[in-house]
Structure 1
Amino acid sequence: MDAHARKLGLVIFDCDGVLVDSEPLSLACLTAGLNRIGVAIDFETVRARFTGTSMVSIMEHIARDYGVTAPPGFVEAVKAETLALFDTELTAMRGVAAAVEALGLPACVASSSDPVRLRHSLSLTGLLPLFGERVFSSAQVARGKPFPDLFLFAAARMGAAPEACLVIEDSVPGVTAARSAGMRVAGFTGGGHWGHDPAGADLLRAGAGRIFSDFSDLAGVIAGA
């Protein structure tokens, strides 16, 4: 790849588990909801299998592997419970606002969350003004992560070539999607759901080029991308 192609032109942030520390909250709501409809699954299994995955993909997995079809209104109920919990407990990742403000590069958000939850999360934590309309959801593409569609869509909307993009991700499906899109990836393990593996071994195996856990290190991550 020539020097021009290697030049970084866009930073794409996942939202949940990267910009906001939402995964412990949303995974807990999902686990409780699945238990209510007869799915014998614990929090750790939900975290390992579903972090970074859209609700559509999650429910397909549950029907296929557990033989449980969610009753009408289940997804909407879990989403409502999650948003209610966010209202009282959701926080931005430490130092993320200052790090984004200091980027000196175009930036956007590309998340598996539905548009309502995504903008609600960014608004609650005061991060939405940093991105404005540069917020993209898996609801806008045919296939969510681990497929590359969302990241390619975000790059196209931002006018950036895939090879000029760096994605900041906290999940294996997200890293896989970014790599499939031909983008560079840094794995973030500063969220509350990464206590099991702060070194990010799973993310490295999936193709992340570097792991970091504090946004004070973002400038160095970008410089080395």
Structure 2
Amino acid sequence: MAPRTDFPPVRACLFDMDGLLLDTEDLYTLCVNLMLDRYGRPQLPWSIKAKLQGRPGPAANQIFQDWAKLPLTHEQYLEELTTFQQKLFPTTKPLPGVVELLTDLDRTGKGEAQGGNRVHIALATSSHAGNFKIKTAHLEELFAVFPQEQRVLGDDTRLQPGRGKPLPDIFLLALKTINDSLPAGETPITPEECLVFEDSVPGVEAGRRAGMRVIWCPHPKLKEELAGREEEVLAGRTGEAGDVDLHQVGELGDGWAEYLLSLESFPYDKYGMVIPQGKTAP
């Protein structure tokens, strides 16, 4: 089909965190492989890891346990895995282009955007509060651009349990937190005015099912794993995220989603975003 080209300017950007803003995917892999090595099991392949990304913890853990068959109870596995994570997660770093992108978007709300509108931002991550704190405590300045009420975490009480990605709820809630914060007189933002940033397949599907545009910026190994299926991913039609109502997702080549190698030199103009020039006064 011909891709759509008449989109309105983007007024809100909704961000996943793990593997998109932070380099946590390789840290997750290292933690899991340390566990597997401890029990004489093979290293985690990307064919399995791809199914874990972006999912709520309980669902991801079940998929992993079904594959790994570790001689542990679920509770024992989590306890041992958490020990490794607590040592490694405080070393997280922003991925290429992240600091510049978040800084630029934050500046649209602090200065005159040369005729453009402010671009609001929110966080929508499957990470629970405990893990979020460990991963971000040393990066407070980076995450300060996200207002507290516009951080939607995996265990957020505003989310219905069991409704994580690839369901659209987390992105719809993130948009609601932005709309609830708009000043009087500013028109509420619609889903098609939102741009979701994701690295995982379930995350892309969640964004598409929310009726939003999507940037897919995956780990190189995930991209390699899905070679030849990129258009399916962008449409939310891989089937990797389980059974879905196909009317809720996109069509191949419909123009609603785009693959990017990294978040460096983001093409703001393409999405109707105007970034103020020069430094914004504090």
Residues 199, 211 of structure 1: 8 Å contact kept: no
Deviation at 1:60? 2.6
Specify whether residues 65 and 120 from structure 1 end up closer, same or farther in structure 2 by C-alpha distance, changes over 3 A only: closer
Aligned counterparts, 1:18-57, within 5 A? 18-33=20-35, 36=38, 42-57=44-59
Q: Which residue of 1 aligns with 2:126?
A: 112
Specify whether residues 39 and 161 from structure 1 end up closer, same or farther in structure 2 by C-alpha distance, changes over 3 A only: farther
Deviation at 1:174? 0.4
Q: Which residue of 1 aligns with 2:73?
A: 70
How large is the RMSD of aligned CA atoms in angstroms?
Answer: 3.1
Aligned counterparts, 1:102-181, within 5 A? 102-103=104-105, 104=108, 105-125=119-139, 126-133=141-148, 134-140=150-156, 141=159, 142=161, 143-159=163-179, 160-181=189-210
Give the whole-Å Cα distance in 1 for the aligned partners of 2:13 and 2:77: 35
Give the whole-Å Cα distance in 1 for the aligned partners of 2:269 and 2:88: 32
Residues 188, 211 of structure 1: 8 Å contact kept: yes
Identity of aligned residues (%): 26
User: Which sections of structure 1, spanning at least 5 residues, go unmatched?
Assistant: none
Specify whether residues 96 and 66 from structure 1 end up closer, same or farther in structure 2 by C-alpha distance, changes over 3 A only: closer
Deviation at 1:117? 1.6
Read off the aligned partner of 1:96 and give its amino acid letter.
V
Specify whether residues 11 and 66 from structure 1 end up closer, same or farther in structure 2 by C-alpha distance, changes over 3 A only: same
After TM superposition, the score normalised by the length of structure 2 is: 0.66
Deviation at 1:50? 1.1
1:216 paired residue among 252, 264, 274: 264
Read off the aligned partner of 1:218 and give its amino acid letter.
F
Specify whether residues 203 and 91 from structure 1 end up closer, same or farther in structure 2 by C-alpha distance, changes over 3 A only: farther
Give the whole-Å Cα distance in 2 for the aligned partners of 1:34 and 1:26: 12
Number of residue pairs the alignment of both structures matches:
220
Deviation at 1:74? 2.3
Deviations 1:93-135 (A, max 9, x none): 1231121111221111111111122233233234221213122
Specify whether residues 183 and 207 from structure 1 end up closer, same or farther in structure 2 by C-alpha distance, changes over 3 A only: same
1:205 paired residue among 218, 229, 232: 232
Specify whether residues 198 and 81 from structure 1 end up closer, same or farther in structure 2 by C-alpha distance, changes over 3 A only: same
Residue aligned with 2:49, SS: helix
Give the whole-Å Cα distance in 1 for the aligned partners of 2:43 and 2:262: 31
Residues 101, 263 of structure 2: 8 Å contact kept: yes
From the two aligned structures, give the one with the greater helix fraction.
1
After TM superposition, the score normalised by the length of structure 1 is: 0.81
Deviations 1:156-184 (A, max 9, x none): 11114322211000010100111111111
Deviations 1:4-32 (A, max 9, x none): x8332210011011111110111221243
Choose 1 or 2 for highest CA Rg.
2
Specify whether residues 110 and 76 from structure 1 end up closer, same or farther in structure 2 by C-alpha distance, changes over 3 A only: farther
Deviation at 1:205? 1.9
Q: Is the deviation greater in 133-142 or in 27-36?
A: 27-36
User: Which sections of structure 2, spanning at least 5 residues, go unmatched?
Assistant: 109-118, 180-188, 236-256, 274-282
Residues 46, 225 of structure 2: 8 Å contact kept: no
